[in-house]
Structure 1
Amino acid sequence: MSSANYLTLLRIPGAAAFFFSAVVGRVGLAMTGIGIVWLVHARTGSFADAGLVTGCFAVADALGGPQTGRLVDLFGQRRVLLYAVTVHAGAVALLFAGGPLTVTGAILAGVSLPQLSALSAARWAALLRGTPAETALPRAFTLEALANGLSFLAGPALVSAVGAAGHPRLGSLLAAALVVGGGLALAVQRRTAPPVAGRAERHRAGRSLLRPAFVRLVALNAALGVFFGALQVSVTAYALGRGTPDAAPLLYAVSNCTNLAAGWAYGARHRESPPERQRALAAVGLALACLPLTAVEGPVPVAVCLALTGLAVPVLLVLFSVLAETSVDRAVLTQAFTWLGSASAAGSAGAAALAGRAVDAAGPHAGFAVGAAAALGMVALAVPGRPRGLRPGGAVPARRSR
């Protein structure tokens, strides 16, 4: 049943073509950062240098993403993609040149990185809006979340395998080829590209990015990024602290597998409850699964807790996209999606440093506490209080006579 539902979406004319084009490019996106690590380390022999260059790339990507989304909403996907992939290819060439151009190449590669997840999500919204299939939009966003999850499983593994085999340049070259190829394939598909709004509509729509509902979504994505960043550091520290570094990939795999399975199952069913309520329940579930990590010791309890966190994460990601689509005007929808991604990336980067300091000071459980605090913050953001005196439907309860 679930396969039939997903396949029905992909049978919509034009849908499979843009979706799989974006998937190809996203595998390259997932390879780019770790590819820079392998490339710079092979050249300099220093992980510090590799981390610095990769950090410049990540910051440039986080800052440049919303600007790319804004340009797409102004000029359309095709024009921006053609420029972006051209600059990205040139930036990778600068990375290969080495020397003082390495950092410049990394920054340009990050700024020009095509925001293929946001572009694909915007196409789904435009394709399904106003059609009988519009109620299937959450399922389309689930497909996007699954594609991202698979890309970030396969991409880093592929580039690491190539780098470990002694071909770090080949890994970065392959990543760039996938990014450019996927971006160009998406650019030539005009039929499913969202229409560009007029100047007056864009000016009016820009203010919708300041609506409280969307600002809350940005804050939630930043908190989820903190959770991701803290968990990555803490799981590694936990495995190393027990003298079993090989356990770290297994613990990550447990979370990733439940993540993908939960995302697939969630998207396969239609739910009547409001997205805001689902978001609140998923945030509470994430917090409840994360809190025991601050105390449990054995690898099996830790694996169980990580598996439970993986059940909540894909639901939250899908709901963030669904609520973003309804929170802002469609003239700035691509920009809205890129803001969500940038907020998550910024939260993850900051949390990695914070959790690292916490682990050094008090051990892995302190790092898990950073992730748990982020999950509790998500609960506070996702469960806003109702005005006093109002019932769930907005009805004012009648006063009792005295």
Structure 2
Amino acid sequence: MSSATYRTLLRTRGAAAFFLTATAGRTGIAMTSLGIVWLVHDRTGSYTVAGLVTGCFAVTEACVGPQLARLIDRFGQTRVLPPALLAHAAAVASLLALTGTGGPHGLLAVAGALVGATIPQLGALSAARWTTLLSGRRAEALPTAFALESLANGVCYLAGPALVAGVGAGLDPAFGMALATALVVGGGLAFAAQRRTAPGAAGDAERRHAGRSLLRPAFAAQFGVNLGLGVYFGAMQVSVTAFAVEHGAAQAAAPLYAVSNCAGLLAGWLYGLRRWRAAPRIQLAFATAGLAVCCWPVLAAGSFAGLGLALTATGLAVPPILVLSSVLTTASVGPAALTQAFTWLNSASAAGAAGAAAVAGRTVDTYGAHGGFTVAAAATAAMAVLAAAHAGAARGVRGSRSRT
């Protein structure tokens, strides 16, 4: 299939409007965490305080995000999103004011927590809209839509940090935070204005039934996969940096990250161009196994060239996992809880990355960069086992139903 598949999706009535506005907002979201680091460090001169404020932001974003998504599932995107965005703008304004006046570190941490608690997960909201837009006979196009979402996320998280770092280094870091917030609020409000494609609010009975679907083993498996993927990301970030430092070229870490990210963008784009015959759970089992296998060369890498090739291979395996996890989540969770489900997957990945960064950092201090790579490899092996077990269990259930 040609790239017309993506063009056809975006020509669907209302699709381009919500996708592009959500992408603008996601660019701002990708800028926010690093923007806080630049801002707080510039004003306090302390990376410890900057890390504290950013950590509070990350924790509340992961914990409060699903609760905000629950409200969105209950009352609708167009009703909940605007006040949440205004609250986010107020939280950022309070952080800017406190840093500008030299506020106490405890208040800076509280302001950072409020920024994280009010930031909306526009990626989850966009995925929920695709699910509604492509329901029924058009459901077979969902993998392509989620591949498009994966591409947007990849581009946003490449461009966003580079943009806020450039503004922070060349101008005042406050301008970087202001730009990030303008993109989040502006893109989010424009997204909320697209009422035609917004999922409708669910009734009480539908919400209760859908809420129970979040406890099903099928969704638990996707939560576990995303948790493992977060551990992989967190461990690799620390370990690649440590590898570059050990080899006397700390500046080489950025190109190594870029190689992996660009490989992922290519893989995500190619994956979405084709209709795959195998069931998504089987594809996920193979994709996670492929990622686990590709981690072995990382453990043996002794040069930048070898590590770059190994990271390219692992980067190719990540986007299909993200796409397939979204597809399987759509199939296992009721429509009235989809925003919550997608947000929980984001929170799982964020929690895994945060925990892995601490564990891998300690492992690197003891065993060097390859010790950190071992943490990432162990996470991918656990993901592969979990995906294979889920595929086997689903196949067993289907087999028992066919016999009865």
Aligned mates of 2:235, 2:210 — CA distance in 1: 35
Aligned mates of 1:310, 1:222 — CA distance in 2: 17
Instruction: Report whether the alignment pairs 1:5 with 2:5.
Output: yes
Which residue pairs with 2:130 in the alignment?
A: 124
Shift of 1:295: 2.4
Shift of 1:391: 7.9
What are the residue-to-residue correspondences of 1:362-381 with 2, within 5 Å? 362-381=367-386
In structure 2, which of residues 341, 346, 361 is the aligned counterpart of residue 341 of structure 1?
346
Which residue pairs with 2:77 in the alignment?
A: 77
Aligned mates of 2:239, 2:4 — CA distance in 1: 39
Instruction: Report whether the alignment pairs 1:115 with 2:143.
Output: no
Letter of the 1:127 partner, please give it.
Answer: L
What are the residue-to-residue correspondences of 1:286-305 with 2, within 5 Å? 286-305=291-310
Native 8 Å contact 1:35 1:160 kept in 2: yes
Letter of the 1:19 partner, please give it.
Answer: F
Shift of 1:2: 3.2
The secondary structure found in structure 2 opposite 1:2 is: coil
Native 8 Å contact 2:142 2:327 kept in 1: yes
Aligned mates of 1:3, 1:187 — CA distance in 2: 28
Which residue pairs with 1:18 in the alignment?
A: 18
Native 8 Å contact 2:285 2:391 kept in 1: no
Shift of 1:245: 1.0
Aligned mates of 1:110, 1:48 — CA distance in 2: 18
Native 8 Å contact 2:238 2:361 kept in 1: yes
The secondary structure found in structure 1 opposite 2:248 is: coil
Aligned mates of 2:157, 2:129 — CA distance in 1: 21
Aligned mates of 1:2, 1:370 — CA distance in 2: 38
The secondary structure found in structure 1 opposite 2:399 is: coil
Native 8 Å contact 1:221 1:341 kept in 2: yes
Which residue pairs with 1:228 in the alignment?
A: 233
- Cα gap change, 1:392 to 1:180, in 2 (>3 Å): closer
Residues 366-390 of structure 1 deviation map (CA, whole Å, 9 limit, x = unaligned): 00000000000001100017879x9
What is the aligned-residue RMSD (CA, Å)?
1.8
Aligned mates of 1:315, 1:391 — CA distance in 2: 24
Native 8 Å contact 2:281 2:390 kept in 1: no
Shift of 1:263: 0.2
Letter of the 2:383 partner, please give it.
Answer: M
Instruction: Report whether the alignment pairs 1:284 with 2:289.
Output: yes
Instruction: Report whether the alignment pairs 1:91 with 2:71.
Output: no
Native 8 Å contact 2:227 2:349 kept in 1: yes
- Cα gap change, 1:21 to 1:391, in 2 (>3 Å): closer
Q: Which moved more, 1:147-156 or 1:199-208?
A: 199-208
Which residue pairs with 2:280 in the alignment?
A: 275
Number of paired residues? 396
Structure 1 unpaired stretches of 5+:
none
Which residue pairs with 1:258 in the alignment?
A: 263
Letter of the 1:116 partner, please give it.
Answer: L
Q: Which has the higher helix share?
A: 2
User: When the two structures are superposed, what TM-score results if normalisation uses the length of structure 1?
Assistant: 0.96
Which residue pairs with 1:172 in the alignment?
A: 177
Native 8 Å contact 1:15 1:192 kept in 2: yes
Native 8 Å contact 1:2 1:265 kept in 2: no
Native 8 Å contact 1:94 1:104 kept in 2: no
Residues 167-202 of structure 1 deviation map (CA, whole Å, 9 limit, x = unaligned): 200000000000000110011111100011111111
Aligned mates of 1:2, 1:252 — CA distance in 2: 29
Aligned mates of 1:34, 1:2 — CA distance in 2: 37
Letter of the 1:168 partner, please give it.
Answer: P
What are the residue-to-residue correspondences of 1:240-251 with 2, within 5 Å? 240-251=245-256
Aligned mates of 1:385, 1:15 — CA distance in 2: 32
Letter of the 1:114 partner, please give it.
Answer: P
- Cα gap change, 1:392 to 1:327, in 2 (>3 Å): closer
Structure 2 unpaired stretches of 5+:
none
User: When the two structures are superposed, what TM-score results if normalisation uses the length of structure 2?
Assistant: 0.95
Residues 297-335 of structure 1 deviation map (CA, whole Å, 9 limit, x = unaligned): 111111111000011100000001000000111110110
Aligned mates of 1:393, 1:167 — CA distance in 2: 59
Which residue pairs with 1:35 in the alignment?
A: 35
Shift of 1:83: 1.3
Which residue pairs with 1:358 in the alignment?
A: 363
